[in-house]
Structure 1
C-alpha cells in the first residue's frame, strides 16, 4: 500500500510506464516525460481522490489505477498541446 508521498512517487514510476503502454507513440520527451507524468498523475490522485469521495489510499491496485489514469490524462493533454504548438 502506498505510504505517504514516497509510496505515491514509486507508484507514479510504474503508472508512467503503464501510461506509455496504454498510449504508445512518439512523444517529444519519450519515456522520461511519460514517467514524470506518471509521478504527477500519482500525486494528483493522492490529493484529488479524497476530494471526489474516493478512498484509494487503502488499496494498492486502486492507487495504481488512479495514478495510471492520471498519467494517461496528462499524456493526452500534453500531446494535444504539443500538436497545436507544432
Structure 2
C-alpha cells in the first residue's frame, strides 16, 4: 500500500514537472501542487486515453504520454481559473 502511494507521488511529480516545462511561462506553484497536478493529470489523461483506446492500462508509454497531456490540460485549466500565470522575462 505504501509503495503504491509513493509510486503515485513520484509519477505525479514527474508528469507535473514535464507539464510545467511544456506550458510556456512561469508557474508559481510549489512542489506539492506540482505533485497534485501530475496526479490529477494522470487521472484525466488516463480517462481520455481509456475512452479513445481499448481501456485503461498500466505503466506503458501511452500511459506516460496520456498523463503528461492530462497534466498539461489540468495546468492550463488551473491557470485560467486562478489567473496566476505570469509571463517569463
| TM-score category (smaller protein) | 0.5 to 0.7
Q: Residues 38, 53 of structure 1: CA spacing in aligned structure 2 closer, same or farther, 3 A cutoff?
A: same
The yes-or-no answer on 1:25 pairing with 2:28 is no
Please give the alpha-carbon distance, in whole angstroms, between the structure 1 residues aligned to 2:24 and 2:65: 18
Tell me the SS of whatever aligns to 2:52. coil
Question: What displacement does 1:44 show?
Answer: 2.3
Stretches of structure 2 that go unaligned for 5 or more consecutive residues are: 85-89
**Is the CA contact (8 Å cut-off) linking 2:20 and 2:27 kept in structure 1?**
no
Please give the alpha-carbon distance, in whole angstroms, between the structure 2 residues aligned to 1:45 and 1:54: 14
Instruction: Give me the CA root mean square deviation.
Output: 2.8
Q: What is residue 64 of structure 1 aligned with on the other side?
A: 64
Q: How many residues align?
A: 79
Please report the TM-score for the alignment, with normalisation by the length of structure 1.
Answer: 0.67
Q: What is residue 3 of structure 1 aligned with on the other side?
A: none
